[in-house]
Structure 1
C-alpha cells in the first residue's frame, strides 16, 4: 500500500490499496476500506495513514464502523469478522453463510445478515440473539427506534424484531427480492429497493404500503438523508430523489439528477442541507443540491470531480467536511469540503 499527498487543496489525501474496493465506511476519525478479496484497511480520516488491517477469508461485501469508531464489522460470502480498535484484535467467523450486510445499533450491538438469519452480536463476536430462519437468504438489516427494533429483509417480506425476540413481532409483506433497506431516521418509513426494479414503502404506524415502479433497472442503492425527509435511489441512469416530508411521496414525482450512465455509489452529506454525492462507472463523482427545485425537476451537478477512468466503487462522508471516494482500481481519495452551506 502506498500513500501520496496531493498539492491541490481540494484533495486532503490519496491512498492506493492492493485489493479492489467494494465498500467504504467512515465514522469519527476513521475510514474503513473493504476489498473484493477480503482485505480491510482502517485509515486515519485526517491523513489517510493506515492504523489497522484485517482479512476476511472468501472476500468482502460490506464494512461498517461502529458509531463510536471503537469497532468494525466486515461481511462477505463466507462469513464475517470483527475488529477492535483498542488492541487490533480480529475475530473471524468463517461459517460458510452468505453475509451480505451488517448494521450497528450502538457501540455495543451489531446485527449481521448470516444466511437465512440475522445474528445480533456484541462487539467481540459473542452472540446475543438470532432471528428465526427467513424464507431465503437475508439481504439487508437495519435498526429502527434508536436500536430497539431490527428490520430484516429476505424474499417475500421485511420482518421486524423487538430486542431479543427470535420471532418477528411485525411483518411487512412484499412478494419479491429485496436488495437494499432504508429506514427513515424518524422511524416513520421502511423502504426496500428490489430486484423487480421497484421501491416498496411501508408506513410503520399502520403498515400502509406504496410501490414506486417503472425503474429500468433493479434498485440496489437506497438511502435516507439525516432528516428522514429525502430518499435517494439508483435503478436508472438518473438518480431519483423522493420527498418524504408531510404525508410522504404518494401521488408525487421525484427529482431526477442527471450525470452518470450507471450509478455506482450514493452518499448524503451529514446535515440538513440536502447535499448528495454520487459516483458512476465512468469514474465521475458528482456533488448535488439534491433537494433543490420542484418535483419532476431535472437537476445538474453543482460540481463534478473527475477521479479518472476507473469506476467509482464507494463513497462515504467522514463528517460534513471530508468526502472519501474509492475507485475500483484501488485509489482511495479524500476531498475537503470546507463549508456546510456550499459544495
Structure 2
C-alpha cells in the first residue's frame, strides 16, 4: 500500500469560468436540472477520480478510505471545498476535486467553516475543541474551546480587516462563546470576547448578518434568537417554529434585510429582523432542508428539501414560484457564497461539484473515496499470500491490492451490512457473512459471486474457513446455530447448537479437527469434529459476557478469547490453564495471533488497537495505537507478520507497521498534545 502524499501548494490559482447570470425562476430551473443530473449521474463532462488514500495518523503507514462526510463548506470565492469527516479534514479545489491538503483528526470532525477573508479554516472536533488552520497549507495555528460538545460554529462576515474576525462557538449545553481571532494565520491572537446568555437547549445554527451588526442563533428547542454583536445584547427571541423542533439552518439575505430559518418541523420562515416578526411562513412540509440560498437579486429564496427537491419563493409576495424534484436524493448539499457552485454528496459518499456555465449546468468533478454516512468497516482479512487485503464497507466488499493500487475492487451482493470475511487456504475463494442472514462465496480472482448460502434465522455473526479449504463454518448470532457447509456445493454438512441463547464467534484449530465457538453468555464450547455427537468435547468458563472473537494459536496449543467483559483470556489447551492477559478500557471486539504466535493484537470499542507481547510477560503491558475515530471492530496480521490491518466504524482500514518501537508505549495524534 502506498501512503498518500501531502501536496501543499504555496499559491492557489483561482479558476475563472465564464458564468452566465441567471436570475429568479430561471436560476431555480437550472439548479433543479443541475441537481437532477447530479443525482442521476447523467453528465459525463468530468471524469470520476478515485482518492481512497485517507489522512494517515501518527505511527501508521496508510489509511484506506476517507470515511463519512460530516460537513462541507466553500471558500468565499468558491475556489476551494473543505470537507469535515470521520477521519479528518480534506481540502479540495472545487473545479477538479484535486486534493490541496489533508490532515487527520484526533476524533470525528463535525463542522468546518472558512473565515470571510478565506485565510483561516475553523473545524470543530468531537470532544469540544475547535482547530484553527491556515487555508494555504493546513498548518495548525490555534486551538479553542475545550468545554462540552460543539454543535455550531460561524465566522463574522467582514472580509477586509483581518483584525476584526469574530468566531462563534455554540455548545450542546446552550452556551455561546464569541472570540476574536486577529492577525495573519502565522501570528494569530485569540481572545474570548463574550459569552452570550445561555440558551435553554443546544445551539444548532448560527449566522452573522452581512454588515456584522447582528447575530442570529437557532436552538434545539425551536427558537431563533437575535443578538446585537456590539455588546452581546439579545434583541429578540423569534418564535415561529413548533416548540422542541430543531432549527437546522439560518441564512441572511445579501443586504441583511431578511433572515430565513428552517427547522425539523418542516417550516421555512422569512423574518424581518428590524421588525422582529415573521414576514412569511413559506412552507409547512419542507422536511430535512439541506440548503438555503437567496438569489443574487434577493427577490427569490431557494431551498433544497430531501422530500420535495428544489423549491423557490418570491420573497416579496411569499408565493411559491416552482418545485423541481429529483428522483435520487443527495445525503448532503452545500452552495457557494457567490451562488454559482454547488457540492453534492450521495448516499454512497461520492462527491460532485457543479457550476453554472455558458451552456447550462456543468459537472466540474466527481470524487470517490469517502464513504456513506453509516457505512463502517466491520471486517478485514489478508489473503494467504499477502497480496490482497479484503475489507467490508457497509454491505459492500472491497478488495485492495497490497502493492499500492489506490482503487479497490468493489463487490456488491449483500443487502445488509457485512459482518465477517474469510479467505480459503489456497486464496482462490473469499467468503463474506452479513446481517442479511447469508454467507456468500466469491471467486477471488474475478470477483464473481459463486454461491449464496442461506440457512440461518438471524444475522450471521462470524465465519471461518477450514484449514483444508473444504468446509466453511458460520454462526448465527441469536439463532444459536453453527452450520458446517461444504464449500464447493454449498451443502449443509452438519448443524450444531450452542448451550445458551446464541453463538457469536467461531474459530478452527490449525489441523482442522476442532471447532470453537463463543456464546453470548460468556462460555466457549469446543467440538471434536471426528466425533458424531453434538455434545462439545470441552467447555471453557471464564468470561462474564458475550465472547466477541476467538483465535487459535498457530501451533494449536492455545486459544485466545475476547469478550464484552473487557477481558482478554489466553487458554492453554495442553495444561488446561487460563491466563487473563489484561483488561481493556472498553469492550474487545477483535483478536488475532501474529503468524509466529508470539504476539496478540486486539481491537476495542473505544477506538484503540493494542499489541500484546506474550514473551515479555504481563508486567510489560500492551503497546497501544490511537488512530481510528470510532470503534475498532476487526484486526488481522499480514502473513509475514509485518503489518497489522484494522477496520473501524469510521469506515476506514489503517495499516500499522508492527516492528516500530514506541518510547511512550502509545502512538497517537500530535494534536492531542496541543490541548493536553
Q: TM-score, normalised by structure 2?
A: 0.39
**CA distance change for structure 1 residues 289 and 315 in 2, over 3 Å: closer, same or farther?**
farther
Deviations 1:198-252 (Å, cap 9, x if unpaired)? 11221112322122235222101111121122111112323101112xxx243x2
Aligned to 2:46: 49
Equivalence for 1:184: 209
2:222 aligned with 1:194, yes or no? no
Question: C-alpha separation between the residues in 2 aligned to 1:84 and 1:309?
Answer: 25
Q: Which residue of 2 aligns with 1:106?
A: 117
Does the CA-based 8 Å contact 2:249-2:292 persist in structure 1? no
Find the partner of 2:272 among 235, 239, 243.
243
Corresponding residue for 2:325?
Answer: 306
User: For 1:159-210, what per-residue CA distance to the aligned partner results, in whole angstroms no more than 9, with x for missing partners?
Assistant: 1211234441222222321111111111011111111111122111232212
CA change 1:335–1:277 in 2 (3 A) is farther
Measured after TM superposition, the shift of residue 305 of structure 1 is 0.7
* Long gaps (5+) in structure 1: 1-8, 19-45, 294-298, 339-343
3-state SS of paired residue (2:150): coil
Instruction: For 1:116-155, list aligned pairs within 5 A.
Output: 116-123=128-135, 124-133=137-146, 135-144=147-156, 145-146=158-159, 148-154=165-171, 155=173
User: Residue 25 of structure 1 corresponds to which residue in structure 2?
Assistant: none
Task: Report the secondary structure of 2:248's partner residue.
Answer: coil
Distance 1:52 1:139, change over 3 A: farther
SS in 2 for 1:15: helix
**Contact persistence 1:278–1:287 (CA under 8 A):** yes
2-structure distance, mates of 1:310, 1:168: 40
The 3 A distance-change label for structure 1 pair 259 and 316 is: farther
Q: Secondary structure at 2:222's aligned position in 1?
A: coil
- CA distance, structure 2, for counterparts of residue 103 and residue 16 of structure 1: 26
1:77-133: per-residue Cα shift (whole Å, max 9, x none)? 443223367973431313224423323333321111123122211122101122242
Q: For each residue in 1:242-286, what CA deviation from the matched residue of structure 2 results, as whole angstroms up to 9, or x when unmatched?
A: 112xxx243x23311126351422322342423211222324311
Displacement of 1:326 after TM fit?
A: 6.6
- Is 1:158 paired with 2:176? yes
Checking the alignment, whether the CA contact within 8 Å between 1:194 and 1:218 is kept in structure 2 is yes
Q: Distance in 2 between matches of 1:17 and 1:66?
A: 26
Alpha-carbon separation, structure 2, partners of 1:203 and 1:47: 48
Contact 1:131 1:167 (8 Å CA) reproduced: no
- For residues 351 and 166 of structure 2, the distance between their equivalents in structure 1, rounded to whole angstroms, comes to 37
CA–CA separation in structure 1 for the residues paired with 2:329 and 2:39: 13
Cα distance change, pair 325–259 in 1 and its aligned pair in 2 (3 A): farther
Aligned to 1:227: 255
Asked if the contact 1:268/1:277 (under 8 Å) is kept, the reply is: yes
- Quickly say closer, same or farther: Cα 1:309–1:181, change in 2 above 3 A: same
Q: Distance in 1 between matches of 2:115 and 2:259?
A: 21
Q: CA deviation at 1:64?
A: 1.7
- 1:331 positional shift: 10
> Cα–Cα, structure 1 residues 53 and 130, in superposed 2: closer, same or farther, change >3 Å?
farther
Q: Which residue of the other structure, out of 63, 67, 84, is the alignment partner of 2:76?
A: 67
**Corresponding residue number in structure 1 for 2:669:** none
Deviates more, 1:257-266 or 1:232-241: 257-266
Change (3 A) 1:126 1:280: same
Match of residue 283, structure 2, among 247, 258, 267? 258
CA contact (8 A) 2:240 2:278 kept: no
Secondary structure (helix, strand or coil) at the match of 2:38 reads strand
Other structure's SS at 2:260 match: strand
Q: What is the alpha-carbon distance in structure 2 between the residues aligned to residue 16 and residue 309 of structure 1?
A: 5
Contact (CA 8 Å) 1:280, 1:312: kept in 2 or not? no
Mapped to 1, the partners of 2:85 and 2:353 lie a distance apart of 24
Q: Is the 8 A contact 1:238 1:260 kept in 2?
A: yes
Alignment size in residue pairs: 292
Structure 1 Cα separation of the partners of residues 198 and 340 of structure 2? 39
Radius of gyration: which is bigger?
Answer: 2
What CA distance in whole angstroms lies between the structure 1 residues aligned with 2:325 and 2:123? 35
| Matched-pair contact (CA < 8 Å) for 2:253–2:298 | no
Bigger relative contact order, structure 1 or 2, given CA contacts below 8 A and separation 6+? 1
CA distance in 1 between counterparts of 2:357 and 2:92 reads 29
1:170 paired with 2:194, answer yes
1:53 and 1:249, CA in 2 relative to 1: closer, same or farther beyond 3 A?
Answer: farther
- Unpaired segments of 5 or more residues in structure 2? 1-28, 55-65, 182-187, 359-676
- Counterpart secondary structure, 2:247: coil
